[in-house]
Amino acid sequence: MNQPITHSTGITPAGQTPYSAWIQTDVLHTLQNPVSHHPGEHAWITSVQVSELYWMLIIKEIRTAQAQLRKNDITQACDTLERVVAHHEPLNATWKSIAWMTPADLLSILSRAVAKYGQDTALQGWTYRQMVYLLGIKQPEHLQHFIPQPARWKQLNDTLAEPSLYDDILAFLHRAGFPIPDMTERDYRAPYIPMQAVENAWREIYADPDRYRDLRRLGETLADIAEGFSTWKHLHLMATRRTFGHRAAYFGTEGIAWLLPTLQELPFPELWAARSTMGEPPMVCPHMSRQPKGQAA
């Protein structure tokens, strides 16, 4: 008869090692249930499940950073957000596991999945959508896809109505004395409209890195997050090009046409707009305006 293993710090359940009990490996390895006989389906499912875990991890980190910003703890918030940057590295690397697939490979898998479960896309998964809302890309129209999941619909609707990470950053900058509007009473469900005052604040921060060392660190971390997020979307688009071409994919819409506009969904817009006017270009910069040929200097 199996007996629990007693350790100095606790009891391991019968039939488990401390590692398997903690990581739940027995449960984890029952969660891949292929619907086809294609040898690549297990890789496909595993890749997507790993993505789901990383999206949830990023959500938790963003929530933590928001709480730290509300306490004016910029150092801890930067530490937390730098972990988001780190999480994007393995998240984006998951595409490598399925990059070898051709249209014949993927379609033979998805045709069986659609026959059993119906048509859908990971971009309509609730974890991805919650992460996008927290990054400040508020699109209420996507809620319709979660009507079959009432609890998740409510979760996303609540997230849509709450401040995003960028909203909390702007509130922090306002409290720090930058001349930007108090945004705490705005309708957070509405798409964010960039403001010149916020662009000016970012330009001021980068113009004096000694004075605003922590805020410049925050800005660069946000840029890294946006880059990791955009990289994932680019890799998704390229995977769609390789395995779908111009077929109809997402709810009857041609896949590439559906994905291309999402590449323009860049978080923290003024942080990027300010880059056009940061710094002083040297007089020999080839991008400075020139007088037309033949005109006197």
Indicate whether 129 belongs to any domain: yes
**Angle, helices 165-175/41-70, rounded to nearest 10 degrees:** 20
Indicate whether 159 belongs to any domain: yes
Geometric angle at alpha carbon 240, from 100 and 192, rounded to 5°? 135
> Which of these, 54, 124, 138, lies nearest to 93 by C-alpha position?
54
- 69 in Cβ contact with 77 (< 8 Å): yes
> Which of these, 165, 170, 169, lies nearest to 181 by C-alpha position?
170
pLDDT tens for the chain, 297 residues: list them.
555 555 556 788 888 899 999 999 999 999 999 999 999 999 999 999 999 999 999 999 999 999 999 999 999 999 999 999 999 999 999 999 999 999 999 888 888 888 888 776 655 689 999 999 999 999 898 898 898 899 999 999 999 999 999 999 999 999 999 999 998 889 999 999 999 999 999 999 999 999 999 999 999 999 999 999 999 999 999 998 988 888 776 666 777 888 888 889 999 999 999 999 988 776 666 665 555 555 444
Half-sphere exposure of 256 (CA within 13 A, CB side): 10
Enclosing domain of residue 198:
40-276
Indicate whether 21 belongs to any domain: no
Number of structural domains found in the chain: 1
Indicate whether 296 belongs to any domain: no
CB neighbours (10 Å) of residue 144? 9
Indicate whether 289 belongs to any domain: no
Indicate whether 243 belongs to any domain: yes
CB neighbours (10 Å) of residue 78? 20
Indicate whether 14 belongs to any domain: no
> What whole-number distance in Å separates Cα of residue 136 and Cα of residue 194?
11
The pLDDT, as a whole number, for residue 115 is 84
Mapped onto helix, strand or coil, the DSSP state of residue 266 is coil
> What whole-number distance in Å separates Cα of residue 178 and Cα of residue 200?
9
The pLDDT, as a whole number, for residue 297 is 41
Model's pTM, two decimal places? 0.88
CATH, residue 205: 1.20.58.480
**Angle, helices 126-134/150-160, rounded to nearest 10 degrees:** 10
> What whole-number distance in Å separates Cα of residue 48 and Cα of residue 122?
8
Indicate whether 34 belongs to any domain: no
